[in-house]
Amino acid sequence: MRKQLYLFATLLVILSGCSKENELKKSVMIYDPEFIDLPVYSEWGYNTFGAYYDREVFISDDITVPAKVVVSDGAMSFVLNGHKGAYYYYDESNRMNLTLRLPGFTPDSYSDMIILNDTVFDLTNPDCQVVVESAGNPINTFSIISGAFQFKRAQNLLVDKQQVEVILSGYFELKALINGQPVTISDGRFDVGIGPDNFYIY
């Protein structure tokens, strides 16, 4: 009987640990009281982001993974995946991605992302590249007029004293010519977890 109770207790501990890690992958949408269509800025790993794309919202959702880091060809890409339009309405044709590509920065693992803490990138710098995709198609005629991408905070997240991800939180904004038309992406904020499941190196 004692052996069965011990096995049951062990199984319960293992399952509760698994559920904690699964909870980390979910998005928690808490709206900003001032910018009511956007998530509030946070540093808790809520797995959300949002910005205004002119007057539309560009925002994360519960369908796509909100952020990925891809390291390949001597560069790191920080990708925000979401859609244009209200949070509760998803349409494949409104899918949108914003990618910040940093040539020369090649972290070996997600834990190396901690180095981005308190870092600001001037998007007009030729060493920074920004790519916007709409409905899965890259926007080819895209040039930055001004902008910045700030990783305000990068912090390790531990579960049971084991690192499970790095939380990246910050702000972004830019003005660009897209297909010959001036566009502003403003009031951007992100709070996302990067771990083994959304860090890619090849």
Please tell me the predicted confidence (pLDDT) of residue 90. Answer: 61
CA separation for the pair 164, 195 (Å, rounded): 6
Residues whose CB is less than 8 angstroms from the CB of residue 118 and which lie 6 or more positions away in sequence, other chains included: 151, 152, 153
pTM, rounded to two decimals: 0.85
Cβ-count burial 51-64 (b if 16+ within 10 Å, e if not)? bbbeeebbbbbeeb
What end-to-end distance do the CA atoms of the chain give, in Å? 51
Angle at 69 between CA 99 and CA 38, to 5 degrees: 55
Please tell me the predicted confidence (pLDDT) of residue 14. Answer: 47
Side chain identity at residue 200, one-letter code: Y
CA separation for the pair 68, 80 (Å, rounded): 7
Phi, psi of 157, rounded to the nearest 5 degrees: -110, 120
Both tokens of 127, joined, read: 């060493």
Q: What are the residue ranges in the chain where pLDDT is below 50?
A: 4-15, 18-19
Taken in order 76, 125, 129, 92, the sign of the CA dihedral is positive
* Domain layout of the chain by residue ranges: 27-201
Quickly count: other Cβ atoms within 10 Å of residue 32's Cβ: 15
Write the pLDDT tens digit of every residue in 86-111.
755 667 788 999 999 999 999 999 99
Please tell me the predicted confidence (pLDDT) of residue 10. Answer: 45
132, β-bridge pairs: 98
